[in-house]
Homo-oligomer: A and B are copies of this chain.
Amino acid sequence: PFATNLHAQLTQDSEKLVEQIQQQLEELRLKVAPFADDVHKQLAKNIEELQLKLNPYTEQFRTSVQENAEELRQQLTPIVQKLQAKIQENVGSVQTALTPYALELHQTINDKVEQVKEKLSPYTDELKLKIEQNVEELHKNLALYPQDVQEKLNQQIELMAFQMRKNAEMLRTKISENAEDLRQQLLSSADQIKEKLNGNVADARQNVAPYIEEFNTQMNKKIEEFSQSIAPAGENINKMIVQKAEELKQKLGPYTVGVQDQMQV
């Protein structure tokens, strides 16, 4: 009977307790339940607003990146063009500036070697004069000799005079030929300076050209890459931000639902 009483008592007590707990839970449920849905709604609304706020911003950012990239390209292009023009101009001016000096060297070689030839020319003339004087004197000295002796001697003298004149002419030829050789050798050596210089200057210009070309290519490519890389980054980051808000909603979901579930024990 005690056991029965106890059981009944316990049953009664526990039923009472359950009733009390249920009552308390019900109160809590009533107190919390509206918020669960509310929080969800609030978060959904907040995410939607964030999305709405970020959308035009994403578009704006993309446009701004492209505009800035284009502007950068437009700012750099004329400066590269100017550099290129100045390279052409200056490298060209080296040739122009140096041409008169190379020409002067060429001209001076021509003139001065000619002068050397001219200055040495009187010596040949004088030599010829001395030969003629000598021959004349020989003839004169033989004038008193008998006719037959004179004739024989004069023949020999004329033969000698002919050979002497030929010798004098050889000197003139030698001077002329040697001067001509000298002129040719000096000119060829001088012209090599000019050729080499023009060649190198042209090379300098040609060698730089591909680097300017390369810069233009790189500039366009890199600015494009920058633009392509940055513009979607803005979009992606905005997506990530919205995703974080979404995650918050998901995270808080079980909690609020959990409160409701707890109420339904």
Contact = CB atoms under 8 A, between A and B. Distances in A.
Given A105-B83, A203-B204, A182 B223 contact: yes
B116 A57 contact: no
A80 B163 CA distance: 44
A204 B215 contact: no
Nearest to A214: B189
Interface string A229-259: 1100110011011001101100110010001
A185 interface: yes
A215 B93 CA distance: 24
Interface of A is mostly: helix
The interface size bin for chain A is 35 or more
Give the interface centre of A145, A178, A193 by most chain B CB atoms within 10 Å: A193
A75 B112 CA distance: 8
A234 B98 CA distance: 40
Given A61-B123, A130-B54, A98 B90 contact: yes
Nearest to A182: B226
Nearest to A46: B138
A87 interface: yes
B219 A164 contact: no
Contacts of A39: 142, 145, 149, 153
Given A146-B31, A201-B204, A222-B185, A247 B160 contact: yes
B170 A237 contact: yes
Nearest to A245: B160
A55 B142 CA distance: 25
A80 to B, nearest CB: 6
